[in-house]
Amino acid sequence: MQYEKLPDGTQIPVLGLGTWQMGGGSSADYSRDDEMVGIIEQAVDMGYTHLDTAEVYGKNHCEELVGRAMKAFNRGDLFITTKVSPDHATYDGVHNAIQGSLKRLDTDYVDLYLIHWPSKDIPQSETFRAMNELVADGRVRRVGVSNYNVEQMQEAIDLCDTAIATNQVRYNLLDRKVVQNGVLGFCREQSIPLTAYSPVKGGVLEHAAVQVMARARGVSPAQIAIRWLIQQPGVITIPMSQDLKHLRDNIAALSFELSPEEMERLDNAGIGD
């Protein structure tokens, strides 16, 4: 595995496992529980020691599946990220939410706790009053944000007693809003790693530049798309898959490097190329 350094000096894997839709999407699905737990366990065995989940995934059920899978491993070998919904961003809501997540994950702490989306109604000062307490009492090791713009990130930095660990945002070869709106640049200025979700979504795998480069190298389009992300300074990614073949394929992106010329070619690739 390759690692990126968090602001507190902790090494985080550049490639993690996204678990959205394991155990359901917007509602719980119990029909494939044993299969999903087995997939998560096999993914960890492959090297996916960073597991990313959220309380809203499967309406809480995804956290339960991650918790079951964690039992097969030493807790200290895993980096667990979960997220609090903006609906629970009040002071009491955050405290109640983390207790629910810890119970479902069956653990005493999470390595990283993210605010899933900025709340439109609840001031960040109230949210971070609770988040700071969670770090102080050890239930949360690090705090981060997700889907934040630069202004929201700056406010979070000002309110957080500890360093903001990451901003988790949608970012891939064809979706570069975080470049255009300055989020990626701001994260780099602040030495905050950016976590890219949906790294192969939105037509990325069908893009001509990705297809051509994959054929020339004898690798998959997904490996090219993931490698382009994790080879950038300060970027990690959390591809989601329930397919063991895809999981093995994705993690193989760690086994090669793109040349400066290839990186530039992909940097210059865009929708419609």
Query: Where do the structural domains in the chain lie, given as residue ranges?
Result: 3-202+230-241
CA 256/CA 268 separation, integer angstroms: 21
57 catalytic per annotation = yes
Strand 112-115 and strand 79-84: the pairing is parallel
CA 67/CA 160 separation, integer angstroms: 28
pLDDT at 273: 44
Whole-number mean pLDDT of the chain? 97
- For the chain, list residues with pLDDT below 70: 270-273
pLDDT at 270: 66
CA 148/CA 191 separation, integer angstroms: 16
Question: What are φ and ψ of residue 192, in 5° steps?
Answer: -110, 115
Q: What is the DSSP string of 58-100?
A: GGGHHHHHHHHHHTTS-GGG-EEEEEE-GGG-SHHHHHHHHHH
- Structure token digits, residue 86: 């903006």
Q: Which CATH number fits domain 3-202+230-241: 3.30.1330.40, 3.20.20.70, 3.30.499.10, 3.20.20.100?
A: 3.20.20.100
pLDDT at 272: 45
Write down the catalytic residue from 3, 30, 48, 57.
57
